[in-house]
Amino acid sequence: MEASVQNLILGFSTAFTSGNFFYALSGCLIGTMVGVLPGVGPLAGISMLLPTTFGLNPTSAIILLAGIYYGAMYGGSTTSILMRIPGEAASVMTCIDGYAMAQKGRAGPALSIAAIGSYIAGTLSVVGLMFLAPPLARFALGFGPPEYFSLLLCGLIVLSYMTGGSIVKNLAMIVLGLLFGMVGIDQMSG
């Protein structure tokens, strides 16, 4: 717990430098513009703007990309509320309540609620990740080849069960999935 708080203080001291604060602000603005465009979500925005971060300091690049992601997640709610067109997949439910509020002349409060909700959810998820990442990483490092195989096989069986249809096609899908999924790491070079 104490190490997490120290890491949080170190992260704030790094993030609140003037250069990194500028990258966070510009990332949020760019992300909001990306999120407003229907069909262009956070993943596409980050993918398109990833080459711009190659010349940056790694910390600044991560801050910029995180700003783009969070800005795009919020930006999708703007078109959901104003035009009933979700800017990205997570804003589909905002179309229902937000657009109804906009029709009643309450678009401003709907946008405010979306912004505040986006901020609170983003903050809580980052804090939760900060506390849950170390134990999850320790758990994942305990996985070896038998556990990976079992997890892969279980996932493919569930997937083939959910698709239904021909048993031959499902078995072929399981075998191909196992062949592709079991290509391991080279023991000599990694």
Average pLDDT of the residues in 94-99: 90
Q: What pTM does this model have?
A: 0.73
Residue-wise pLDDT tens digits, 105-163: 999 999 999 999 989 998 899 889 888 988 999 998 888 878 888 888 888 888 878 87
Asked if 118 contacts 76 with a C-beta cutoff of 8 angstroms, the reply is no
Residue that is written with structure tokens 């899908």 in the block = 173
Handedness of CA 177, 178, 180, 184 (dihedral sign): positive
- CA separation for the pair 48, 179 (Å, rounded): 32
| pLDDT surpasses 90 at 3 | no
Return the pLDDT at 1.
Answer: 66
- CA separation for the pair 179, 162 (Å, rounded): 21
- CA separation for the pair 157, 184 (Å, rounded): 21
Return the pLDDT at 131.
Answer: 86
Q: What are phi and psi of 88, to 5 degrees?
A: -155, 170
Asked if 91 contacts 103 with a C-beta cutoff of 8 angstroms, the reply is no
